[in-house]
Structure 1
Amino acid sequence: MMMSLCKQEKLIAQAIRTTNPVNNYTPWYSVAIACLVMTATPLTAISQDEQNDEKGNRSRQAIEEVTVTAQKIEQSIQDVPIAVSALSGDNMDALKIERGEELLRAVPNVNFSKSNFSTYNFSIRGVGTKAVSAATDPAVAVSFNNAPLIRNRLFEQEFFDVQRVEVLRGPQGTLYGRNATAGVVNMLPIMPEDEFASEIKAEIGSFNSKRTSGMFNLPLGETMALRLSGALTKRDGFDTNTYTGNDVNDRDLYSTRAIFEWEPSDTFSANFIWQHFEEDDKRSRTGKQLCSTDPGPSTIGDTELTEITSIFFSQGCLPASIYSDDAYNTPNGRGFAFVLVPQFIYLDTGEPVINYYGNPYGNAEQSRDLREIATSYDPVFRAENDLVQLNLEWEIGNSFTLFSQSTYAKDDYYSSQDYNRYISDPIFNDSAEFVPTPGGIYTDPQLGPSDGILAVDVSRSDNKQWSQEFRLQTSFDGPWNFSVGANYLDFKTQDDYFVFNNMFSLIAEYFYNGTRDPDTGLLVSEKCVDPEVGAGDMDCIYVDPNSLENIDEEGHNYFLSRNLVETSSWALFGEAYWQITEDVKLTTGLRYTDDRKRSTPVPSQLLLGTSFDSETGEIISGRRSGGLVHRGYPEGDQVTQEWQEYTGRAVLDWHTETPFTDDTMFYLSFAHGYKGGGTNPPRAKIDSTVVQYQPLEDSFEPEFVNAIEIGTKNVMLDGSLTFNANAFYYDYSDYQVSQIVDRISLNENFDAENMGLEFELAWQFTDSTRVDMNIGYLKTRIADGEKSIDVMNRTQGNEDWMLVRPSIQVPSNCIAPVDLVETIAASGNVLAIWSLCAGSALYGSFTPEIEGFARWDILYGVDPYNPLTDAPNGGRGFAADLSGNELPNAPRFTFNFGVEHVIPIEDWDLTLRADYYRQSESYARVYNTEYDRLKAWSNLNASVSLSNPNSELYMQLYVKNIFDDAPITDMFTNSDDSGLTTNVFTLEPRILGFSISKGF
């Protein structure tokens, strides 16, 4: 029997391995561990002497009752008519769930992915936060001790000293109403107790991992207590930078918490919580960058393209599967405007400042290993979070309780990494003129010396939040009770995203007319403020001379997207509970929310400068760049948006007895949810007579959802088995989704519908054996008639139009008529090609309305043409039909299965556990193309624990990600002017660890 079971597990392991898109080899010892742990359970259970009750049935231990605060009162999870999952601290230790991203392994229809910037997407039932701009709010409300935190460290911070984590699925229209259109994740810490206690835990593991955590609980007299806890993690990197030879993606973080509780009487209590988190390491914000190179066309119609003209029609990367071998190539960088422009900056010798006419990334070779990158710049990651909370509770008489919760949170975040994550070829000439490149080395003020293209980005965020809630709750003996309250939230954020590129600095320095210190080689003065110098045809563009760590944030030689958003929100809410009969209860809730968002636009200024009027000496807009200022980032007028919305829910639940259950509850609920809208980030403020941008929406709409759910919760077999199931349907209006357009996170709205099923089972099979399982089924559908422009496929197969790359001042690709493009391409005039996307006089015009520059329509004998008026969607392209497509990050199936078996050995308990998770394929974007497809993936973990309850000693040996899988869990498409490369995300590698803890 053992051999047959182990053989079965080998087949399971083989099936898991064959579905892994990256690895196709499984070490023998991984299979052995899986076989050992997963087969030990049934064999041991069968071999034990069965203990029978008086009726001859096998005895079972009842599953411990789980208490939750999903309705802000303590209730058994089986009595709450909400789809909610709860994990205690011990549960998470057993499952090795250490951070928020790993909750998907224990909750049905949950998905998690990191985003490209400072946030993440935690989605429930297909609804999450696919909008990434600063003005958006999370659809899943992440709360600490019932207080929602708009910005938090759910991805980075590790759980410690946790009472439980609750995950509420579905819109929470009343008590957690603001923005919780998808659900709530609520983490509750362990509060001080009235007895002395302490615990210390130490852990070592793979990648030189070291973890320590502990707590100290101290009673202070009869009315006060103090609980101190903390955790620290250090680990070497599990990714390799093959260029520098350094490991990256390491961990160096710690958390501390102090809780002081005071209960001077039976009717009043108070507690004060302070928590601090800090991280400083080389964590990579994103994973590898993939690209299927787009070589560009060789002909247009009957016209053969030259080597130089073909690059103007390559978008950099093709929309091919990210699982193909070609996906590990690099973009066709020849067509990048910042590569082409320096080729027109000539030295006195007649040579250009760069000597490279090929693809600067053409010789870069990417490893097929998702855990290997090649970059000259190792990532930098810093995060710091502080939270202070004061909770007061008064019992007024025998039937009323008044609650007050005050919370302040501050969150700072900084992440820097190589923008491309592959190495450029050497490209610079040896020169000391204009822009000095001695020995073929250009020294960038921020990035330092390099012989090739070097680009680095910085994502930085500074957030402050204050919230206050008052709530009055009743406990009448009669059939009626209620809970009413009011809350206020004030949130301020500044999100900055920088892109530094030495080619930007080189171009800016050429126009800047600065001087360099002969010893340091750095720019030290600015001459373009002198009208006698700057009155020519070249614009003045300020170059920040400071190092990366000390920038003055006024340079136009780098890209800066600054987002300043303030949110103030207040709400009145209430729920009424009517116990219609002993077994039937009706819950109704209503919430009124008043949201106000104030966004201060700060336009970007990359390579924008000004000129001087040659006659008056006054500063005028840039003749070539179109800039209105040559230095700094002036703020625009503040934009205020307001929404006043009603949300709520109604739930009918019925407790009954059936012949096959000990306790059964059925419930039917309706909920209406809302999440605020916002403004899209501003683009560059530019002189429209020189450069014009494609039309984009300035704002996006709020989200709304109507949800119907029917469910049942059951306790069976004398409490040893719980089985919960539900079915739901969502009607969604204006779901918010982002994509990068014109160097901003453009937020769009789509109507959709979601429907699905969820099953959760916990079975204490014997006193020693437990099985946990949950299954989620989800079907999402974008509504008929919804459309969006896919930046990866702007023509949508229309053969009369084709893609054209833009000039350096126009961030996005455009489309133009094939006949017109063929005529211009045949001339070989690259300036005329660039003007196809500009719709302006920057490089010449096709329209009679714009004066002062060449008229290409007259020169080439074509009809006047302006992409803003004569091309679909202002030149952006043809919209893709999204009707019937699935929502992003919404796998059709999720499956969790865990088995645990305890073997008593005198005073010790030996616990064997294995957990398996799988999700089916999904899509990363709304377009549902082959490029968007994410393959199904699995994850298997196992542990062996030894504990002595009498001495409070606990030891555990565990393996996470046994088969060392590296699936692509999500991806993010970069901007047009970056070549539409793709940042991908994956799991942590296999980690073997050992921990020991001792309580006192």
Structure 2
Amino acid sequence: MTNVLERLPSSRRAAKNAAAWMCGIAMGAVLVPQAYAQAAAAGQPAAENDQAIGDIIVTAQKRSESVQKTPLAITAIGGEALRTSGTSTISAVVQSVPSLQLGQFYGVANVTLRGVTLSAINAGTESPVAFHVDGVYYGRPAAVLSSFFDVQRVEVLRGAQGTLYGRNASGGSINIITADPTPDLSGFAQVTYGNYNHMNVEAAVSGPLSDKVQVRVAGRWDHRDGYGINEATGRDIDDNNERAIRGKIKILPTDTLTILLEGDYSKAHSNAAIHLQGAVAGGPIFGTQSSIFGTPFVPGKASSKLRNVSQDEDPTLRTKFWGFGSTISLELGSITLRSITSYRKSQSLSVGDIDLTSAPLVSPFGISDDANQFSQELQVVGQDDHSNWILGGYYFHEKDEGREVSAFSTVFAGANPATNARGLYSGSRVTTDAYAIFGQYTRKFTDQLSVTVGGRYSIETKGLINQNNFDLGTPFDRSKLFDKPATFAIQCGKGLPTLGYAGTGVTCRPKKTFKAFTPKVGIDYQVTPQTLLYASYTRGFKSGTFNLGVVQDAVRPEKLDDFELGIKSTLMDGRLRANVAGFYYNYKDVQAYNGLPTQTYLENAATAKIYGIETELVARPVTQFQIDLSGSWLHATYDNYKAYDQLRPGGDGVTLVPNLGSTGFLNGFDLKGNRLPQAPRISGRLGAAYTFASDLGDFTLRGEAAYKSKMYITQFNTDPVGAVKAHTRFNASLNYEHKDGHLTASINAKNLGNKVLLTNGFAGTPFVGGLISGYLEAPRTIDFTVGYKF
């Protein structure tokens, strides 16, 4: 079988070389690092030396402090660096952050940090890597895929953040901090044009309305033609159309009281396509369908061009996000009272062809999600000469309604002979109410030695209403794709819904309460004013959830114990920064998929051990030249995990796994020692920039190379169809800034080698198993941008 994954670049020698320089960096940095900050975004210089690397002020611990003084594994990137590099999505940040991967599945972001990843895409499912914007937790993983703009900085906190961030931060947290209103008139505007007819406009204006009121308004519009076409219909795929706006009002009634009001709206539409990578002959794609429906698979055409597809259903992804909130701060001497209030609305709809060919088998397949969330956080933050502390309370409420539909073609027995049948409908409503109290205290025993203790107690209750319908007799009506059917069934207890079932009432409303205590203990030692040593233990937890479609016990929360050891150093009068972090995870009750011949379901199936080392190095030997290097070595394997593989129903001939809803067993696999998905052993980036000064202004030429070793896309670690080969990606840019600091221009070229790379992938489906598929990274893109700052 030919598989395009085999055509991705791979080299055992490259992997060995990458491992060698990773070890070299770690050894060379043993007197240095772990959290690299690009040039200062907030105008906070690291040192008086004009050759010094700029510092950045972060709020990772809910107070302002230098990134080099923060005893956490954190990567911070300033807003100016994001703009000049053409970075406007989390996917573009991935290369700058060790151990971070990003993919998607039907509009749901799949963020992986140090091997900790999202397991399911059902309604109510939450990522173990939290996503915050201006201090507000976003419950829906789809929001991670939206573009960001007018950003002050991005902070990526690696490792469990269970004390200060709570639920669903067991793998870390991605924090987006947008720009606030300013007391003086300021702003920027920039226009971009690139290949694939890419057009982008972004602008912001900020200033005072009065001595007590400041306002900031920012907006973004983006359009791009597709990277490929659907050969079956002739339409573009992998295009993009989006627009967004944000407004902020800062009110200063007194010198000690600040009221910040914020509202935002964004809308996007694209034809994001899932690309067929291959199929396993003799798997469920041929067997399961025949055994259930008595009809063999009717093969269709799949495109031979890597960036094209041939599918009878055009892919569609639509998202809409909006919200408003307030942050109120009152300073009472050394104590600050803070309230963060937010309401958010999240809507996404994705439609595609689940059999991924031009055959009218199972299409359209659609997933929709409609969520409302409200959150309230109260903080009391204090400090004195010897300590700093924070106490807080948190409440989160969300109602998330999701629907999945699959229309079935006339090839299935029992389907309407004249048209496609309505097929499978699954509708769910998951309601979450979460409460928490937390606190963290840091005591400075000497000028060098500090100890931190903290803890968070969380209680959350989730309720589910699940409605299912399987109908092969009613004709499919596209205009009513996501409409609830007239009859449906809800089952209690364990088992699979019966084909052809129907009911007329709500008979089952499962509800489950989860509780967790997530402590933190840390110690840090300031060896010199430029070198910080730290060690910590933190627990994180990922919320429990329900299976949808399969009636099964609630899935328990994941628990992750994180042991960290790191060092951060700034040397050579601020011209060299080197950071190293080592970590060890004890990962329990991992929410992982198990399978049946016709369906998958989520359970606490696994335990895992994860450990590794990360390095980040920035050097400026002369004022004009800067080099930066980051890398990660990651060991992430299952300790205990047995599962059924839909692609290999015969199993390993030894392992048996329970057959859900029966007293029998299935032939499965013992996955102990298998690597976790989306967890390459080696990843790294090397970049260099040189600035040429002239009478017209400064020109900065930058190049970078990013390497990732082989990673697997599923827990079964099947080669070659279940793996993404090792690869190196190259980017380059040329930036210009006029000597007066107002006019800017840049050319950004990404993926210079035009590699065809999977962001992530997946294997098997309930009815159309055997397919290996995934989303592709962008091809070579070249963008030209002109901007003006004032």
What is the match of residue 453 of structure 2? 588
Alignment deviations for residues 739-768 of structure 1 (CA, whole Å, 9 cap, x no partner): 564445434431111110010111112101
After TM superposition, list the pairs within 5 Å mapping 1:521-532 onto structure 2.
Answer: none
Q: Distance in 1 between matches of 2:5 and 2:367?
A: 34
How many Å separate the matches in 1 of 2:277 and 2:368? Answer: 21
Q: Residues of 1 paired with 2:505 and 2:776: CA distance?
A: 39
Aligned to 1:92: 82
Within the alignment, does 1:393 sit opposite 2:260 as a pair? no
Identify the residue that residue 407 of structure 1 maps to in structure 2. Answer: 342
Q: CA deviation at 1:598?
A: 0.6
Distance across 1 between alignment mates of 2:472 and 2:235 = 34
| Distance (whole Å) between structure 2 residues aligned to residue 382 and residue 132 of structure 1 | 16
Q: What is the rounded CA distance, in whole Å, between the counterparts of 1:955 and 1:592 in structure 2?
A: 50
1:421 lines up with 2:356 in the alignment: yes
Read off the aligned partner of 2:524 and give its amino acid letter: D
Structure 1 residues 216, 777: CA separation in 2 closer, same or farther (over 3 Å shift)? same
Distance 2:119 2:361 in 1: 31
| C-alpha contact (below 8 Å) 1:409/1:464 kept by paired residues | yes
Within the alignment, does 1:160 sit opposite 2:31 as a pair? no
Residues in 1 aligned to 2:737 and 2:745: alpha-carbon distance in whole angstroms: 6
Residues 535-563 of structure 1, C-alpha deviation per residue, up to 9 Å, x if partnerless? xxxxxxxx9xxxxxxxxxxxx83211222
The equivalent residue for 1:347 is none
The answer to whether the 8 Å contact 1:268/1:394 transfers is yes
Q: Say whether residues 1:896 and 2:693 are aligned partners.
A: no
Shift of 1:21: 2.4
**Counterpart among 307, 317, 326 of residue 381 in structure 1:** 317
- Residues 756-806 of structure 1 deviation map (CA, whole Å, 9 limit, x = unaligned): 0010111112101111110101101211x43122222232243999xxxxx
Alpha-carbon RMSD? 2.8
Counterpart of 1:778 in 2: which secondary structure? strand
1:89-123 deviation line (CA, Å, top 9, x unaligned): 122234432211222200111111212x3422111
Match of 2:368 in 1: 460
Residue 778 of structure 1, aligned match among 621, 634, 641 = 634
* Partner of residue 579 from structure 1, selected from 444, 448, 454: 444
The answer to whether the 8 A contact 1:86-1:164 is kept is yes
Q: State the AA in 1 paired with 2:338.
A: F
Q: Deviations over 1:642-685 (max 9, x none)?
A: 1221112111000022xxxx6100001011111221221134xx
Correspondent of 1:641 among 512, 522, 543: 512
| Residue 653 in structure 1 maps to residue 524 in structure 2 | yes
Q: How does 1:326-725 map to 2 (within 5 A)?
A: 335=290, 337-338=292-293, 340=295, 360-361=298-299, 364-396=300-332, 398-424=333-359, 453=361, 455-477=363-385, 479-503=386-410, 507-509=414-416, 557-607=422-472, 630=502, 634-657=505-528, 663-683=530-550, 697-725=552-580
Alignment partner, residue 593 of structure 2: 738
Q: 1:721 to 1:566 in 2, by over 3 A?
A: same
Is 1:120 the counterpart of 2:109 in the alignment? yes
CA contact (8 A) 1:974 1:981 kept: yes
CA distance in 2 between counterparts of 1:950 and 1:211 reads: 25
Residue aligned with 1:288, SS: strand
Could you report, residue by residue, the CA deviation over 1:876-931 in whole angstroms, capped at 9, with x for unpaired residues? x2231122221111110110111111100114111101121111111122222324
* 968, 977, 981: which one aligns with 2:767: 977
CA contact (8 A) 1:108 1:894 kept: yes
Number of the residue aligned with 1:882:
671
Query: In the TM superposition, what whole-angstrom CA distance separates every residue of 1:362-397 from its partner, at most 9, and x where no partner exists?
Result: xx443343211112332222110002120000012x
Task: Indicate conservation of the 8 Å contact 1:19/1:937, yes or no.
Answer: no
- Give distance in 1, aligned partners of 2:585 and 2:654: 39
Contact 2:9 2:727 in 1 (8 A): no
AA in 2 matched with 1:899: A
Q: 1:26-45 counterparts in 2 under 5 A? A: none
Q: Which residue of 2 aligns with 1:753?
A: 609
Work out whether residues 591 and 602 of structure 2, in 8 Å CA contact, stay in contact via their aligned partners in 1. no
Q: What TM-score do you get using the length of structure 2 for normalisation? A: 0.87
Name the amino acid aligned to 2:399. K
1:688-726 CA-to-partner distances (Å, cap 9, x unmatched) read xxxxxxxx8433221111111110000001011111101
Q: Which residue of 207, 212, 219 maps to 1:230?
A: 219
Give the number of the structure whose residues are more often helix, by fraction: 1
1:187 paired residue number: 176
Counterpart contact for 1:180–1:675, Cα < 8 Å? yes
Cα distance in 1 for residues equivalent to 2:621 and 2:406: 57
Instruction: State how far apart, in whole Å, the 1-side matches of 2:733 and 2:589 are.
Output: 44
Q: Secondary structure at the match of 2:180?
A: coil
Distance 1:798 1:198 in 2: 66
Map of 2:276 onto structure 1: 288
Per-residue deviation at 1:974? Answer: 2.9
Tell me, what secondary structure is at the counterpart of 1:602? strand
Contact 2:679 2:711 in 1 (8 A): yes
Specify whether residues 708 and 359 from structure 1 end up closer, same or farther in structure 2 by C-alpha distance, changes over 3 A only: closer
**Highest RCO, 1 vs 2 (Cα 8 Å, sep ≥ 6):** 2
Count of residue correspondences: 727
Contact 2:350 2:367 in 1 (8 A): yes
SS at match of 1:62: coil
Counterpart contact for 1:608–1:628, Cα < 8 Å = no
Partners in 2 of 1:749 and 1:707 — Cα distance? 20
Q: How far does residue 176 in structure 1 lie from its aligned partner after superposition?
A: 0.5
Q: Which amino acid aligns with 2:690?
A: H
2:752 aligned with 1:962: yes
For 1:291, the aligned partner's letter is A
In the other structure, the counterpart of 1:150 is 139
Moved more, 148-157 or 558-567: 148-157
Compare the two structures and name the one with the higher strand fraction.
2
1:911 paired residue number: 700
How far residue 508 of structure 1 moved from its aligned partner, in angstroms, is: 4.1
* TM-score in terms of structure 1 length: 0.69
Cα 1:739–1:229 change in 2 (3 A) is farther
Q: 1:77 aligns with which of 67, 78, 82?
A: 67
**What is the aligned partner in structure 2 of residue 103 from structure 1?**
93
In 1, Cα distance between equivalents of 2:555 and 2:327:
36
Q: Give the partner amino acid of 1:72.
A: K
Distance in 2, matches of 1:926 and 1:562, equals 28
Does 2:188 match 1:210?
no
Instruction: Name the CA distance, whole Å, in 1 between partners of 2:662 and 2:6.
Output: 46
Question: CA 1:405/1:359 → structure 2, altered by over 3 Å: closer, same or farther?
Answer: closer
**What is the rounded CA distance, in whole Å, between the counterparts of 1:800 and 1:61 in structure 2?**
61
1:270–1:707 CA distance, 2 compared to 1 (3 A): same
Paired position in structure 2 for 1:990: 780
Identical columns (%): 25
Shift of 1:332: 7.7
Amino acid at match of 2:210: G
CA distance in 2, matches of 1:627, 1:288: 28
Distance in 1 of aligned mates of 2:527 and 2:466:
58
Counterpart residue type for residue 482 of structure 1: W
1:152–1:699 Cα change, 3 Å: closer
CA distance in 1, matches of 2:583, 2:275: 35
**AA in 1 matched with 2:7:** P
1:254 corresponds to: 243
Structure 2: gaps of 5 or more residues: 11-48, 475-486, 490-496
How far apart are the structure 2 equivalents of 1:236 and 1:454? 27
Which residue identity does 2:369 align to in structure 1? S
Q: Deviations over 1:590-640 (max 9, x none)?
A: 10001111111223434489xxxxxxxxx9x9xxx967865x774342111
Structure 2: how far apart are the matches of 1:191 and 1:633? 52
How far apart in 2 are the matches of 1:984 and 1:718?
47
SS of corresponding position for 1:794: coil
